[in-house]
């Protein structure tokens, strides 16, 4: 039988990161979101620079648009992201103040944002990408001014503002191997053991067709061993990781991508049901992917093509769900 949408098929939420201007202005994009997904993440709308462009100004309109849209379409909203080293407004990167002033800055941002969306956004990426690729703690402005334990305090501040919200630590590279993964898992296990309010772990999974299925499955199963909820939070599967000029989207590449999507969804399905927070792809169609701009190359990393037609990758997700 024909598939209505991924959200009807999956026993856990299926999500996409959404771009507000595409949601407003491109009807095929909006239709695909409405048909397929019941969990939405703002690709950029809830980042620090988007919500809090000057110290005394908050701009809620794009983020509120996503919330209202989600309410109208019976979708949840996952908040992304409160504390990150990127997408900071210049007033933060140039902020002059002692550690108490920085603490107040972080606390005020977290609590103002979480309070604004209380009862509307039920989960947050509280801290994003605190680690370098080699597993050492990133020397972000937060760490420089607040020390390594800014992470724990960020979770506490978010929890104070909305005790019902599910709080996530989100990062990439779990599937690369043990070095960065172990650093991340040690962090979240340490927070959990100290009684810090952390409820989930986000695996971004910006991956590619060369990554072995075993690495992907290990990333997912070891995240599950924390006992926390697991969110595959930013999934895309690049076909052109070597940035080959002139590459075209061949049936062979489509088939390899289909198999990779299927393997990831199968590994996720193997988690205990209570830990399956959901799977979110990072945007909707290939035309919308951040990867094309980032690599200045051709790529087709998503389950929908440039015209929002379902690709073999989509069928791979369906096969894993059925
Ligand atoms: O909106 C402005 C536009 O006004 C301006 O003219 C233009 C010039 O650079 O920039 C536009 O903003 C861009 C924004 O995307 C909206 O398109 C930013 O420069 C650009 O840096 C930003 O990139 C986003 C990136 O995060 C940085 O925030 C990507 O769209 C987004 O896909 C990407 O998402 C991240 C996740 O948040 C965290 N994990 C990795 C993932 C991929 O990098």
Quote the tokens at residue 242: 């070597």
What integer pLDDT is reported at residue 256 of this predicted model? Answer: 98
Atom of ligand 1 at shortest distance to CA of 81? Answer: 37
- For residue 167, count other CB atoms closer than 10 A to its CB: 25
For residue 239, the CA-to-ligand 1 centroid distance in Å is 21
1 lies in some domain: no
What integer pLDDT is reported at residue 13 of this predicted model? Answer: 98
Annotated catalytic, 160? Answer: no
| 3-class secondary structure, 101 | helix
243 lies in some domain: yes
What integer pLDDT is reported at residue 77 of this predicted model? Answer: 98
Is 44 touching ligand 1 by the criterion CB < 6 Å? yes
- Residue 233: name the closest of 49, 73, 43, 63 by CA: 43
Is 204 touching ligand 1 by the criterion CB < 6 Å? yes
What integer pLDDT is reported at residue 259 of this predicted model? Answer: 98
Q: Which domain holds residue 230?
A: 6-321
Quote the tokens at residue 313: 């990758």
For residue 205, the CA-to-ligand 1 centroid distance in Å is 17
- Residue 220: name the closest of 232, 209, 208 by CA: 232
Mean of pLDDT over the chain: 98
- Residue 264: name the closest of 225, 301, 284, 237 by CA: 237
> In CATH, what number is assigned to the domain containing residue 58?
3.20.20.80
Pocket test for ligand 1, best of 25, 43, 174 (most atoms within 8 A of CB): 43
Which residue CA neighbors atom 19 of ligand 1 most closely? 87
Q: Is the Cβ–Cβ distance between 185 and 191 less than 8 Å?
A: no
Is 290 touching ligand 1 by the criterion CB < 6 Å? yes
Length of the chain: 322
Phi/psi at 250 (nearest 5 deg)? -90, 160
What integer pLDDT is reported at residue 322 of this predicted model? Answer: 94
Angle at 37 between CA 307 and CA 221, to 5 degrees: 110
Annotated catalytic, 319? Answer: no
Residue with the two structure tokens 């006992």: 227
What integer pLDDT is reported at residue 1 of this predicted model? Answer: 73
Is 85 touching ligand 1 by the criterion CB < 6 Å? no
What integer pLDDT is reported at residue 274 of this predicted model? Answer: 98
For residue 84, the CA-to-ligand 1 centroid distance in Å is 13
50 lies in some domain: yes
Pocket test for ligand 1, best of 290, 291, 292, 302 (most atoms within 8 A of CB): 290
For residue 15, the CA-to-ligand 1 centroid distance in Å is 19
Beta bridge partners of 236: 206
212 lies in some domain: yes
117 lies in some domain: yes
Atom of ligand 1 at shortest distance to CA of 172? Answer: 39
Catalytic residue among 30, 43, 129, 175: 129
> What is the 3-class SS of 112-159, one letter each residue?
HHHHHCCCCCCEEEEEECCECCCCCECCCHHHHHHCCCHHHHHHHHHH
Atom of ligand 1 at shortest distance to CA of 80? Answer: 37
Residue pLDDT, tens place only, 143-196: 999 999 999 999 999 999 999 999 999 999 999 999 999 999 999 999 999 999
Spell out the per-residue pLDDT of the chain, length 322, in tens: 789 999 999 999 999 999 999 999 999 999 999 999 999 999 999 999 999 999 999 999 999 999 999 999 999 999 999 999 999 999 999 999 999 999 999 999 999 999 999 999 999 999 999 999 999 999 999 999 999 999 999 999 999 999 999 999 999 999 999 999 999 999 999 999 999 999 999 999 999 999 999 999 999 999 999 999 999 999 999 999 999 999 999 999 999 999 999 999 999 999 999 999 999 999 999 999 999 999 999 999 999 999 999 999 999 999 999 9
Q: Domains in the chain: how many in total?
A: 1
What integer pLDDT is reported at residue 156 of this predicted model? Answer: 98
211 lies in some domain: yes
CA distance 43 to 160: 25
Is 43 touching ligand 1 by the criterion CB < 6 Å? yes
Which residue CA neighbors atom 27 of ligand 1 most closely? 87
For residue 26, the CA-to-ligand 1 centroid distance in Å is 19
168 lies in some domain: yes
Element spanning 110, H or E: helix 99-116
């Amino acid at each position: 039988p024909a598939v209505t949408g991924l959200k009807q098929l999956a026993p856990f939420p299926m999500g996409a990161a959404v771009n507000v201007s595409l949601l407003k202005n491109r009807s095929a994009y909006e239709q695909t979101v409405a048909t397929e997904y019941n969990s939405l993440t703002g690709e950029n709308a809830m980042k620090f620079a988007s919500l809090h462009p000057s110290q005394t100004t908050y701009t809620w309109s794009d983020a509120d648009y996503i919330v209202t849209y989600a309410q109208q379409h019976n979708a949840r909203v996952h908040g992304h992201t409160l504390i990150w080293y990127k997408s900071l407004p210049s007033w933060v990167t140039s902020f002059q103040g002692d550690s108490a002033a920085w603490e107040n800055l972080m606390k005020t941002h977290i609590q103002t944002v979480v309070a604004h969306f209380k009862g509307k956004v039920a989960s947050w990426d509280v801290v994003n990408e605190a680690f370098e690729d080699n597993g050492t703690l990133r020397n972000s402005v937060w760490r420089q001014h607040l020390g390594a334990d800014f992470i724990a305090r960020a979770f506490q501040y978010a929890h104070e503002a909305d005790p019902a919200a599910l709080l996530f630590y989100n990062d990439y590279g779990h599937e690369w191997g043990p070095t960065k993964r172990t650093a991340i898992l040690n962090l979240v296990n340490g927070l959990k053991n100290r009684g810090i309010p952390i409820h989930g772990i986000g695996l971004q999974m910006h991956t590619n067709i060369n990554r072995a299925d075993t690495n992907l499955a290990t990333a997912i199963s070891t995240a599950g061993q924390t006992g926390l909820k697991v969110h595959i939070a930013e999934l895309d599967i690049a076909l052109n990781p070597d940035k080959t000029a002139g590459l075209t989207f061949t049936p062979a590449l489509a088939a390899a991508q289909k198999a990779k999507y299927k393997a990831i969804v199968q590994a996720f399905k193997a988690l205990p049901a209570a830990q399956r927070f959901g799977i979110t792809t990072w945007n909707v169609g290939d035309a919308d992917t951040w990867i094309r701009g980032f690599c200045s190359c051709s790529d087709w990393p998503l389950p929908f093509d440039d015209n929002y037609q379902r690709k073999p990758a989509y069928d791979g997700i369906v096969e894993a769900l059925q």
